[in-house]
Amino acid sequence: MASDFDFSGKLSFLNLGELLQLLGSSSATGTLRVYSPYRGDAGLIVVENGNPVDAKDGTQSGVEALFALFGWMEGRFDFTREPVACERTIQKGRMEIILDGLRLLDEGKITKLGPSPPAAAAGRLVAPVSTARRAELPPIIKGPLVDYAYVIDEEGFYDGDEIVHEGAHGNWIWVILEGAAEIIKTTPKGPLKLLRVGDGAFLGSVASLLIGDNVRSTTVVACGNVQLGMLDSQQLAGELANLSADFKSLIKSLDNRLRCVTGIGADAHARTTTFMDLIKGKKMALKEGQQEERLFRIRDGEVVVARSLGSGYAPLAHLQKGDFFGHIPFLTIGHEPFAAAVFSSPGLKLAAVDSQKITAEYKRLSATLRNIIEHLAACISATTLVTINRVGQSGIR
């Protein structure tokens, strides 16, 4: 009965990618059922803390079933909040699943059930695009509903306006109230379009509120008309000041990861190969896909996070003293331990981090600060996919 559902609707209004983003932004736990007029049985996705952990589609299960469900373009869905007790068969992070699913759908590698739908409205998570346009259209990341208690001012931008300039200084953080913006990195071979961000997404570095002066690492340009809300930096800084030293360092380390993977993506776009030298002289400390539940802080030495490309490894992040690596219980960033390996320098010294303590601290954060950190993780995951694709296209090995 509909009254038993916490959330339901039509797939013509919210597609599967949008649904997964919505459930992720609220850290929902429960069961998502998808129904198609072209199939007798429902598709099922089990979600835990906003991330898919298992899926069923007929005889298929796991991530293959989940990708198949992206082809269900018509029908309805319902979501029920409930405890989950199934075995985790999906290790990929939510954002990587969404972007891979949409890419496979666009490339015709996922079967669409029923007639082809009309083009999605402007600002939707996905719209059918030609092969020629695919490379020019970065993925879009949306955020949760905006908490206006943190918004102290609003500002509008027109299509093509530059909102942030790479290399400029600034510590303020915006939230997109309406519209979308494109994140662009400058390279010697021309601009690299990394991502698009939409309603509820954040522009700016939360780590800048901890380290003071901040240099913008990318340019942000309005895609259509955009309405932004400026967040209360003093209120956020006050909350950050009360965090433990470990949690502050974790935020700085996540910000460093995003800058690293963005820089490597830019180098690959420009076909600069120097980043491949990061792994030289290092030994593998964590295998890609390894079951590792611990989290570490680097006391001395350095590590390189890298993903396998079959014939070798592509570096993603260069981490040094004070940075963190390993399993972050409340975030999925598309890196180690499940989706990347870790290479360590000789003489690496580590400190074990109390994961339960920082998880409890994370749960005590305001919804806005949690959303900012979750958005940072989503950007790391999405930018990682862009970077891996650029490395693959460049032929660098």
Each residue's pLDDT tens digit, 98-111: 888 888 888 888 98
Least confident of 134-148, 153-167, 328-342: 134-148
pLDDT tier at 137, thresholds 50, 70, 90? low
Q: Which of 9-23, 53-67, 131-145 has the highest mean pLDDT?
A: 53-67
With a cut of 60, say whether residue 133 has pLDDT above it: no
Among positive and negative, which fits the CA dihedral 336, 338, 339, 345?
positive
Percent of the chain at pLDDT exceeding 90: 61
Q: What are phi and psi of 4, to 5 degrees?
A: -85, -10
With a cut of 60, say whether residue 234 has pLDDT above it: yes
Compute the distance between CA of residue 333 and CA of residue 135 in angstroms, rounded to an integer: 23
- C-alpha closest to that of 207 among 373, 332, 25: 373
pLDDT tier at 128, thresholds 50, 70, 90? very low
Percent of the chain at pLDDT exceeding 70: 92
Q: Kindly state the average pLDDT of the residues 177-203.
A: 93
Which pLDDT value is given to residue 392?
82
**b/e for 186-208, b at 16 or more Cβ within 10 A?**
ebeeebbbbbbbbbbbbbbbbbb
Judge contact between 314 and 388, C-beta under 8 A: yes
Which pLDDT value is given to residue 365?
95
Compute the distance between CA of residue 75 and CA of residue 16 in angstroms, rounded to an integer: 11
Which pLDDT value is given to residue 369?
94
Q: Helices 367-394 and 233-241 meet at what angle, rounded to 10?
A: 90
Using only the alpha carbons of the chain, give its radius of gyration.
21
- If you average pLDDT over every residue of the chain, what do you get? 88
Q: Kindly state the average pLDDT of the residues 174-200.
A: 93
Which pLDDT value is given to residue 113?
82
Which pLDDT value is given to residue 397?
64
In sequence order, what are the beta bridge partners of 31? Answer: 46, 80
With a cut of 90, say whether residue 321 has pLDDT above it: yes
- C-alpha closest to that of 278 among 312, 245, 314: 314
Compute the distance between CA of residue 383 and CA of residue 365 in angstroms, rounded to an integer: 25
Instruction: Give the CB-side neighbour count of residue 129, counting CA atoms within 13 A.
Output: 18
Domains in the chain with CATH codes: 2-133 (no CATH), 140-239 (2.60.120.10), 244-394 (2.60.120)
User: Backbone dihedral region of 181: left (phi > 0), alpha (psi from -120 to 50 degrees) or beta?
Assistant: beta
Which pLDDT value is given to residue 56?
94
Which pLDDT value is given to residue 151?
94
The structure's pTM equals: 0.84
Report the amino acid identity of residue 368: T
**What is the distance in angstroms between the CA of the first residue and the CA of the last residue of the chain?**
55
Digit-coded pLDDT (tens) for 356-366 = 999 999 999 99
Q: Under DSSP, is residue 191 helix (H, G, I), strand (E, B) or coil?
A: coil
Q: Kindly state the average pLDDT of the residues 54-63.
A: 91
Q: Kindly state the average pLDDT of the residues 304-329.
A: 93
Q: Kindly state the average pLDDT of the residues 105-122.
A: 66
Q: Kindly state the average pLDDT of the residues 39-50.
A: 90
Q: Kindly state the average pLDDT of the residues 125-144.
A: 54
